[in-house]
Structure 1
Amino acid sequence: MKFLNVLNKKFFVASSFFLAIPFSLTSFAASNKKPKICLVLDKGGKDDKSFNQSAFEGFTKAINNKKLNISPDSKYVTVREDTQSQQFIRSFSSGDCALVIAVGFNNADTVGKLAKNFPKQKYVLVDSLINEPNVRSISFQEHEGSFIVGYIAAMKTKTKQVSFIGGMEIPLIKRFAMGFEAGVKKYNSEIKITETYVGVTSSAWNNPSKAKEIALSKYNQGNDVIFVAAGGSSQGVFDAVAEVNKNKKSSTKFIIGVDSNQNHIAPGLVLTSMEKKVDDKVYKSIEDFVENKFTTGVIKYGFADSGIDWSHDKHNEKLYTDKELKEIERIKNEIIENKIKVPDYYTVGKKN
């Protein structure tokens, strides 16, 4: 893929080198004015088996779709340090990127500021809310998905103890936690829930050893299901669930993944994943832009819009009975029909 080769030569450079030598963003004319799409990933990167990887897959799918006629010089970069967010997005905004896509709340402030400075530039911001006339903000109803996986956790726990592990205690992750707790309590109000966070700085999203330490402690204290929403740190929890189930004839401890379908990471040990359809929505945004159907504003995707779901596939299908599947589907439909009001930290939590 040409766009990746270009990237490797020009973008994965040290920060000091980035400051000294600006990126080359002058290939728009040479590509017969095919739109160049530029993607900025958050720290997890394209191989995080989660949110960033899903966004990258949607981006790649669009680039490879010849019908969309996108420039092969389209690029992606990964923010490794906080200061790079503004550097990358500003460079893309002042260059020849027709559409700039920024992933993750860590890039939200930068997009908000630069959207004002570059009013003609079109942006897509994934997983944050910004109201600017040139920005499409894509958000997901995480509380709805978290409610379902909380219900599943309660359905499957044997010890009546479950846990939530988040990256940082910020509103977005508290939204997951609140939805998860509500789902657990919907099934059985007597189940004990603990809530723990990996850290208090952005490094919390890339500290799998700390997350593993927390998860092992939770499992050893009797929790038999852990829902994790901690970016790159989540891998530590997957390592922990594999360790505690090692050499056992049947699984007794489980994990619930997040953002993308992570069932395949530890087949039989992942109850499900709270899946955001990031790949679909990134692809759709690019398609809309190319086909002159692009609109700006805030778009919220939930169950009703096929923006989120719980993952059920060959890797976890043996964990459920037909009766349980029907019950889960019933709860999901009641959320869609507003028969179940899922508490949202963005509205409920901030009042407390």
Structure 2
Amino acid sequence: MTLMTKFLGAAASLALTAGAALADPALIYDLGGKYDKSFNEAAFNGAEAYASETGGAYKDIELQSEAQREQALRRFAEAGFNPVVTTGFSMSAPIASVAADYPDTKFVTIDGFVNPEEHPNVLSILFSEHEGSYLVGMMAAMASKSGTVGFVGGMDIPLIRKFACGYAQGVKAVNPDATVISNMTGTTPAAWNDPVKGSELTKAQISQGADVVYAAAGGTGLGVLQTAADENILSVGVDSNQNYLHPGKVLTSMLKRVDVAVKDAMEQGPDLQTGVMVLGLAENGVGYAMDENNEALVSDEMKTAVEDAKAKIIAGEIAVHDYSTDDSCPALSF
């Protein structure tokens, strides 16, 4: 039984015994807002699925500044919401500052890490983004006619380098001679919400020969996907299924099941199991999107190759390098 299966099973059994007496959960979105069509929106969709399927209610807030992080955590905890679910690595430090003051409140950091020994009421949910990125990298290399593909990241942090590194490894597994062009949008949180800069970087990569560009940049990625469609090249979406944004122009999307993580945490309520959870291909925590919007772009040969690689990654026969383990990337220079 996989970790995700166990998690889902525990959530389902707890949901059945929950009852109306339990406190409502709360959700704090990272900067960029809940309608970013990417990471935050995946969290929103998970919360909406929780409400729809259980009949429960939840409270949410969109942060406008860094200063609001700790303030929002304390406000929700003092109001009795439980658990308080957060998105983005930047919530780790604020949660570590707040958690001990509210020992009966469960906190969740998605993409962040809080030491479970120091803060036993916190669940850190991490994803193996490098594994999913490897698969979409393979697809990009197989779809490319020029042998040059691109990557546009948001904020230049180890997490986003993890996406880029896995992607480049997947590209070069298909075509060792391929060129991978990588650019980051910036070094501050504003990098997550700058579609104009995303468009500029995409045009620059196209001028260097890129005919498939993967965006891992939150709201900035919308500018990447739009420009790729306008310039008649392919793009790869991220986090949520973004294939529908430009049907026939988005090769696939690297799915990061933030929606499932949020929904399951909310269903567990105050009985949430804390600690550290890592969700990869084996747990269906990451993957790639196929639907009517991209089916004509992905050949049977491509699907067979990617599914074979997926099975080998799960079995340990293919090792995808995780940038966050040693701050290095054999397949790409930053």
TM superposition score normalised by structure 1: 0.84
1:336 aligns with 2:320: no
- What are the Cα deviations for residues 42-89 of structure 1, in whole angstroms up to 9, with x where unaligned? 1122211111111111112212334xx63x4x3100111111111111
1:203 aligns with 2:190: yes
Asked if the contact 2:111–2:126 (Cα under 8 Å) also holds between the matched residues in 1, the reply is yes
1:108 aligns with 2:95: no
Asked if the contact 2:199–2:223 (Cα under 8 Å) also holds between the matched residues in 1, the reply is yes
Residue 349 of structure 1 and its aligned partner are, at CA, apart by: 2.1
Residue 239 of structure 1 and its aligned partner are, at CA, apart by: 1.7
Residue 350 of structure 1 and its aligned partner are, at CA, apart by: 5.5
Match of 1:258 among 238, 253, 263: 238
Match of 2:43 among 44, 55, 59: 55
Residue 351 of structure 1 and its aligned partner are, at CA, apart by: 9.8
Name the larger-Rg structure: 1
Return 5+ residue gaps in structure 1 as ranges: 1-30, 246-252
Match of 2:168 among 181, 186, 198: 181
Identity of aligned residues (%): 39
Matched residue of 1:304: which SS?
coil
2:104 aligns to what?
120
Matched residue of 2:307: which SS?
helix
2:221 aligns to what?
234
Asked if the contact 1:102–1:111 (Cα under 8 Å) also holds between the matched residues in 2, the reply is no
CA distance in 2: counterparts of 1:234 and 1:139, whole angstroms? 21
Matched residue of 2:221: which SS?
helix
Asked if the contact 1:261–1:311 (Cα under 8 Å) also holds between the matched residues in 2, the reply is yes
Q: Cα RMSD (Å) of the superposition?
A: 1.7
1:65 aligns to what?
53
1:321 aligns to what?
299
CA distance in 1: counterparts of 2:189 and 2:329, whole angstroms? 25
Matched residue of 1:81: which SS?
coil
2:63 aligns to what?
79
CA distance in 2: counterparts of 1:273 and 1:333, whole angstroms? 19
CA distance in 1: counterparts of 2:235 and 2:23, whole angstroms? 41
Return 5+ residue gaps in structure 2 as ranges: 1-18
Residue 289 of structure 1 and its aligned partner are, at CA, apart by: 2.5
Matched residue of 2:123: which SS?
strand
Residue 162 of structure 1 and its aligned partner are, at CA, apart by: 0.7
CA distance in 1: counterparts of 2:91 and 2:27, whole angstroms? 11
Match of 2:180 among 167, 190, 193: 193
Residue 323 of structure 1 and its aligned partner are, at CA, apart by: 2.0
Equivalent AA in structure 1 for residue 161 of structure 2? K
1:303 aligns to what?
281
1:158 aligns with 2:145: yes
Residue 205 of structure 1 and its aligned partner are, at CA, apart by: 0.8
CA distance in 2: counterparts of 1:56 and 1:226, whole angstroms? 26
Matched residue of 1:256: which SS?
strand
2:265 aligns to what?
285
Equivalent AA in structure 2 for residue 309 of structure 1? G
Asked if the contact 2:43–2:258 (Cα under 8 Å) also holds between the matched residues in 1, the reply is yes
Match of 1:268 among 237, 248, 269: 248
CA distance in 2: counterparts of 1:34 and 1:160, whole angstroms? 55
Matched residue of 1:109: which SS?
helix
The count of residues paired between Structure 1 and Structure 2 equals 309
Residue 220 of structure 1 and its aligned partner are, at CA, apart by: 2.3
1:171 aligns to what?
158
Greater RCO between the two (CA within 8 Å, min separation 6)? 2
- What are the Cα deviations for residues 93-149 of structure 1, in whole angstroms up to 9, with x where unaligned? 222112100111122211121112322211111112222210111111001011111
TM superposition score normalised by structure 2: 0.89
1:347 aligns to what?
325
CA distance in 1: counterparts of 2:51 and 2:23, whole angstroms? 10
1:212 aligns with 2:196: no
